[in-house]
């Protein structure tokens, strides 16, 4: 989610808010029109000649002299300048033009308007500028370009000659996007002085503000003459020149042009402001130096690197909001706005926009742009910005770096809701009660009853903040506002910081339900899939059946909203493959991924029935395309075929054998699926150019004593040993997932409903627990956070004793004193689990609730490759004892023979992940 706060919230602050307490607002930008410019405009108006004329010609001459260019041609905008510059190259229709992924959308549109096709180049996340290495990767991935647009981002000089060389292009095929670069110096010369075509902007907030307008500078006289014709329909003479002495009413058109001329009114403002430009540039230099000094001690705020050599125009002062700051970029934007400080983000990467995902050619992955965008923030920067305002911005950043993030900051920009919502403000609920901020879909009788029950009982773990309803006029009176219709799910979730959506419309059609799911997923918000709630809706009963949502009571902590909207950039527009898609974790992962609008979503599983069911649920149809992939991951040839044909960009690997007691009986099958299957997928991913690969593992992989834990640990080692290349490989460890197929709650519900004794292995057995939504959020966030080789773990608090959980769950379904039968720990089971092994260290990540583990020493790929063939051979000949011995030789502490223990499998196994 990108937030722009060009203006602050003056006039609509609550009493006592930071902005209300401090009236010294600092807008992000302030346009300047000097007194000289006003007088010049009056002179033009008095002349009676308002279109392109004498004033425009004078402005062109003076601007050319200022940038030391032989020729300057005034046009209506920088976008028009770029289009004309590209048209002047006479390229074949559809030719590729390289352009940085982080740039203004108008620059890419100029390429398309010229009949050409943009090819995206990644940027260095430290500078937001393309590098020769990134250009080379783009050329190899997209094909040889015919031209390139080079952006001087924020006013920093770009290495034009080096980029041209990396693209294999002569300098006359380079168009400089100098919208930010009036005043920039490169190689000792002003940008635009020696370029075949440099394009400047005079938008109201640019270094030379006019309001609108642009300029092309060139050293080529013939191109300058062509620009003058092409800017006005291709006419050989404009109206002013036709009326000069010796002029004629006659003109001709040799080729189609644009209507893109500058007026004398604009030129008059430009001439007046050009005389101030030197002083304004010196003020920008001073502001930048003051920011640099003031922010040096603020943790987590890092200005973009400034290239050595040349001179910076400081059109923008851009910083990165790093993990050390303590809150995310979007939260910071909101909190600064509340304090009267405007900010902005330059720019949303092109490949994050649906239109350009189709219209542009992109290499497989733009990791620099994806890493930079969630961090990027532009601070106020304009010549009229006083030192006191610069200091105030820095002081507020320093305060916020030390301050905890209030719940009020966890929302996207939106107008303050009506008074009705103020009973449930964006901060904690009355009495400090917490819960996931929840949108209730349906404001009818069922929805209002549900909202009342949820609001009155904190144990549900959901805090309603408003309704979504397509027919709000039909809804009865309610304490919460209707925030939009069902089509507004994504916007409302972002605008109001929603963390969950619950559907309360009995009989909602499957198509509309899927639509809500996708909209919610696009905002990183989950929609509940709870059988008890579905049943409640069918009986028009609500609150009393919501006890299954009592996560806080069951596991001793509040449920966390893990996935962030920024994660969308990892899968949006990408080809995503999910293995084990038919399982409970895989299917929920597919639902979330689908909401982030991937280009394709491939569902891979060996169970065709589950795949068919899932695609029906996701799309309403099945077998309409080739997105269903039936495959056993143990079949390396089939895996390679799928990756070669489908070319996925992102892979989430959820397929596994995971039933601990059964795998103790059948260790060879565990090796074939969990180890060999993972290696097959990793090798296929590396060979086919996959960008990101995330393995789903288990906490049982930490110091494993079970076949499940050992095979999953080897899968983790396979991922870590192959990390470090262009493909980013990582793993996540799950605790026990509530709500997954065969999980503890489903087993308890069956046993309690049948009147049977509840079976527990040991009075003191304890486990870590997480919800399905938390599990999927961890996977998606890990894909965003990964740099290669990490194992990510959710901070799940303390372990929960199973006996305590049984009693709490039984009370929630009105069984006050359940009978419990202890069966004894089975082979491979531990009394308690750990999230990390003794050989691992761990560290915090940019996400406050996710930790990353690292082994004391990275696994050696050579050792692993030497050991795996023996393990595979034992598994292939179904030698259970030999398989155990091989595992013991590879994993310290794993028992070479199965220890004695109960082997009966008649007792349900509730210890799934």
Catalytic positions are 700
| Cα–Cα distance for residue pair 147/115, rounded to 1 Å | 13
Pairing of strands 692-698, 650-653: parallel
Query: Contact at 8 Å (CB) between 751 and 757?
Result: yes
Query: Contact at 8 Å (CB) between 663 and 711?
Result: yes
| Cα–Cα distance for residue pair 694/606, rounded to 1 Å | 19
Query: Contact at 8 Å (CB) between 650 and 600?
Result: no
Closest CA to 767 of 750, 791, 744, 793: 744
**Token duo for residue 326:** 């303590």
Residues constituting the chain: 913
- Cis amide linkage into residue 347, ω under 30° from 0: yes
| Cα–Cα distance for residue pair 577/678, rounded to 1 Å | 14
Closest CA to 784 of 373, 349, 355: 373
Calculate ∠ Cα 344-347-352, nearest 5°: 125
Pairing of strands 500-503, 526-527: parallel
| Cα–Cα distance for residue pair 62/74, rounded to 1 Å | 11
What is the phi/psi pair of residue 911, to 5°? -110, 50
| Cα–Cα distance for residue pair 380/28, rounded to 1 Å | 4
**Token duo for residue 360:** 């542009």
Calculate ∠ Cα 58-62-63, nearest 5°: 115
3-class state of residue 848 by DSSP: coil
**Side-chain half-sphere of 135: how many Cα atoms within 13 Å?**
25
Bridge partners, residue 841, by sequence: 854
What is the phi/psi pair of residue 852, to 5°? -120, 130
Classify residue 763 by burial, with Cβ atoms within 10 Å: 0-12, 13-18, 19+.
exposed
| Cα–Cα distance for residue pair 143/817, rounded to 1 Å | 70
Phi-psi region of 44 (alpha: psi -120 to 50; beta: other; left: phi over 0): alpha
Closest CA to 390 of 487, 295, 464, 498: 295
Residues 6+ apart with CB under 8 A from 340: 8, 9, 10, 18, 19, 22, 23, 24, 25, 26
SS (H, E, C) 237-304: CCHHHHCCCCCCCCCCECCCCCECECCHHHHHHHHHHHCCHHHHHHHHHHHHHHHHHHHCCCCCEEEC
| Cα–Cα distance for residue pair 727/685, rounded to 1 Å | 8
Classify residue 352 by burial, with Cβ atoms within 10 Å: 0-12, 13-18, 19+.
buried
Residues 6+ apart with CB under 8 A from 906: none
Q: Please identify which residue in the block is written with the tokens 């959308």.
A: 105
Classify residue 430 by burial, with Cβ atoms within 10 Å: 0-12, 13-18, 19+.
exposed
Classify residue 492 by burial, with Cβ atoms within 10 Å: 0-12, 13-18, 19+.
buried
């Amino acid at each position: 989610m990108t937030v722009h706060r060009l203006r602050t919230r003056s006039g609509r602050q609550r009493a006592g808010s930071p902005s209300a307490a401090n009236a010294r607002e600092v807008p992000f930008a302030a346009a300047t029109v000097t007194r000289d410019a006003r007088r010049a405009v009056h002179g033009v108006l008095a002349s009676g000649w308002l279109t392109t004329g004498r004033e425009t010609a004078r402005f062109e001459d003076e601007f050319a002299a200022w940038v030391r260019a032989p020729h300057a041609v005034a046009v209506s905008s920088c976008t028009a300048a770029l289009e004309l510059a590209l048209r002047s190259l006479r390229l074949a229709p559809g030719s590729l033009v390289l352009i940085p992924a982080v740039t203004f959308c108008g620059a890419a549109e100029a390429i398309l308007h010229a009949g050409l096709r943009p090819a995206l180049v990644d940027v260095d996340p430290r500078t937001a500028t393309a590098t020769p290495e990134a250009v080379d990767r783009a050329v190899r991935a997209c094909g040889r370009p015919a031209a390139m647009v080079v952006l001087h981002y924020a006013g920093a000089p770009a290495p034009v000659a080096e980029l041209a060389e990396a693209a294999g292009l002569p300098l006359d095929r380079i168009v400089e996007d100098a919208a930010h670069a009036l005043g920039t110096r490169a190689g000792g010369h002003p940008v635009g002085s020696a370029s075949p075509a440099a394009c400047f902007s005079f938008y109201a907030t640019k270094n030379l503000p006019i309001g609108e307008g642009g300029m092309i500078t060139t050293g080529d006289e013939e191109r300058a003459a062509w620009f003058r014709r092409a800017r006005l329909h291709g006419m050989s003479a404009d109206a002013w020149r036709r009326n000069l002495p010796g002029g004629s009413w006659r003109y001709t058109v040799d080729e189609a042009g644009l209507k893109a001329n500058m007026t004398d009114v604009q030129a008059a403002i430009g001439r007046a402001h050009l005389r101030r430009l030197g002083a304004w540039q010196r003020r920008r230099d001073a502001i930048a130096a003051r920011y640099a000094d003031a922010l040096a001690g603020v943790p987590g705020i890092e200005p973009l690197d400034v290239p050595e050599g040349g001179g910076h125009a400081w059109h923008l002062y851009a910083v990165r909001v790093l993990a050390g700051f303590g809150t995310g970029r979007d939260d910071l934007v909101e909190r600064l706005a509340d304090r009267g400080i405007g900010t902005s983000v330059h720019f949303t990467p092109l490949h994050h926009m649906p239109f350009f995902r189709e219209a542009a050619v992109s290499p497989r992955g733009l990791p620099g742009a994806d890493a930079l965008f969630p961090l990027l923030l532009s601070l106020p920067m304009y010549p009229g910005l006083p030192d006191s305002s610069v200091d105030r911005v820095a002081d507020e950043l320093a305060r916020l770096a030390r301050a905890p993030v209030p719940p009020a900051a966890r929302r996207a920009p939106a107008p303050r809701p009506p008074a009705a919502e103020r009973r449930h403000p964006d901060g904690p609920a009355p009495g400090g009660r917490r819960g996931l901020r929840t949108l209730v879909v349906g404001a009818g009788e069922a929805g209002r009853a549900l909202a009342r029950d949820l609001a009155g009982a904190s144990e549900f773990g959901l805090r309603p903040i408003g309704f979504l309803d397509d027919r709000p006029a039909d809804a009865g009176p309610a304490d919460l506002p209707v925030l939009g219709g069902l089509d507004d799910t994504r916007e409302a979730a972002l605008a109001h910081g929603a963390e969950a959506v619950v559907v309360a419309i009995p009989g909602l059609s499957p198509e509309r339900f899927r639509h809500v799911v996708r909209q919610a997923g696009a905002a990183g918000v989950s929609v509940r899939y709870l059988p008890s709630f579905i049943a409640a809706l069918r009986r028009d009963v609500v609150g009393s059946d919501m006890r299954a949502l009592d996560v806080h009571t069951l596991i001793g902590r509040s449920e966390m909203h893990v996935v962030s909207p920024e994660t969308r950039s990892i899968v949006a527009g990408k080809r995503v493959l999910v293995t084990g898609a038919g399982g409970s974790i895989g299917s929920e992962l597919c639902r979330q991924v689908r909401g982030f609008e991937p280009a394709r979503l491939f569902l891979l599983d060996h169970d065709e029935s589950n795949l068919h069911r899932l695609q029906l649920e996701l799309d309403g149809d099945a077998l309409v395309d080739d997105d269903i992939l039936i495959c056993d991951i143990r079949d390396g040839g089939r895996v390679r075929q799928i990756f070669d044909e489908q070319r996925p960009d992102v892979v989430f690997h959820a397929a596994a054998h995971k039933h601990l007691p059964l795998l103790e009986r059948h260790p060879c099958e565990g090796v074939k699926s969990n180890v060999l299957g993972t290696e097959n997928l990793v090798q296929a991913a590396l060979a086919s150019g996959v960008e990101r690969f995330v393995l789903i593992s288990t906490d049982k992989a930490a110091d494993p004593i079970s076949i499940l834990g050992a095979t999953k640990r080897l899968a983790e080692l396979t991922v870590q040993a192959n990390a470090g290349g262009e493909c980013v490989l990582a793993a996540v460890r799950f605790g026990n997932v509530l709500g997954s197929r065969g999980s503890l709650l489903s087993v308890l519900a069956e046993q309690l409903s049948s009147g049977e004794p509840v079976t527990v292995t040991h009075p003191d057995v304890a486990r870590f627990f997480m919800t399905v939504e938390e599990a999927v959020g961890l996977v998606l966030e890990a894909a965003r956070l990964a740099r290669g080789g990490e194992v990510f773990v959710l901070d799940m608090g303390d372990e929960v004793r199973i006996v305590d959980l049984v009693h709490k769950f039984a009370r929630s379904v009105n069984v006050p004193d359940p009978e419990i039968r202890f069966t004894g720990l089975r082979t491979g089971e531990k009394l308690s689990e750990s999230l990390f092994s003794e050989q691992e260290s761990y560290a915090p990540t940019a996400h406050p609730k996710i930790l990353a583990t690292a082994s004391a020493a990275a696994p050696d790929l050579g050792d692993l490759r030497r050991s795996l063939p023996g393990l595979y051979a034992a598994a292939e000949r179904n030698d259970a004892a030999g398989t155990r011995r091989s595992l013991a030789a590879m994993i310290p502490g794993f028992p070479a023979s199965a220890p004695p223990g109960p082997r009966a499998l008649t007792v349900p196994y509730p210890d799934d992940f």
